């Protein structure tokens, strides 16, 4: 139990350390990722207005076929890049939310870049 609490506290510290270094603006919203064991969630947030501009997850009905695996999760990033372009967002600040930059986080970030969104 104590080990799990330490794990959560460490991730929370990393998360705040990362967030204070991000350069966000209304033209460059923060895109944050959250991953559970079954689903991955992405959202673009305008921190100045406090609103979510776009969001996506493989919990949505038409995206249920995308599994939470490195091989398939890139498709989620590709679709999210299209949604951002529809909202005229061409640059983002990627917030990895305390997760290491490998695996699912890296696959999603690379597909967003390939979709034409600048980091």
Read off the pLDDT of residues 73-96 as tens digits, 9 standing for 90 and up. Answer: 999 999 999 999 999 999 999 999
Q: What is the CATH number of domain 2-114?
A: 3.30.420.100
**If 0-12 CB within 10 Å is exposed, 13-18 middle and 19+ buried, where does residue 76 land?**
buried
pLDDT tops 80 at residue 1 = no
C-beta pairs of 6-13 under 8 Å, 24+ apart in sequence = 11/98, 11/99, 12/98, 13/98
pLDDT of residue 7: 85
pLDDT at 25: 85
pLDDT above 70 as % of the chain: 100
Sheet bearing 93-95, strands edge to edge: 51-57, 40-46, 30-35, 93-95
* Residue 26, pLDDT score: 84
| pLDDT score of 24 | 85
* pLDDT at 22 exceeding the cut of 90: no
* Mode of pairing for the β-strands spanning 30-35 and 93-95: parallel
Asked whether residue 57 carries a pLDDT value surpassing 90, the answer given is yes
Share of the chain above pLDDT 90, in %: 75
Q: What is the DSSP letter of 88?
A: T
Whole-number Å distance between alpha carbons of 114 and 119: 11
Look at residue 4 and tell me whether its pLDDT is greater than 90.
no
């Amino acid at each position: 139990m104590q080990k799990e609490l330490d794990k959560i506290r460490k991730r929370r510290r990393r998360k705040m350390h990362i967030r204070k270094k991000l350069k966000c603006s209304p033209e460059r919203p923060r895109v944050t990722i959250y991953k559970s064991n079954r689903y991955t969630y992405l959202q673009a947030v305008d921190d100045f207005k406090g609103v979510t501009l776009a969001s996506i997850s493989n919990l949505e009905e038409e995206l249920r076929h995308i599994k939470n695996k490195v091989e398939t999760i890139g498709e989620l990033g590709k679709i999210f890049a299209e949604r951002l372009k529809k909202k005229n967002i061409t640059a983002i600040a990627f917030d990895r939310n305390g997760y290491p930059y490998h695996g699912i986080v890296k696959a999603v970030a690379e597909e967003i870049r390939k979709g034409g969104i600048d980091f």
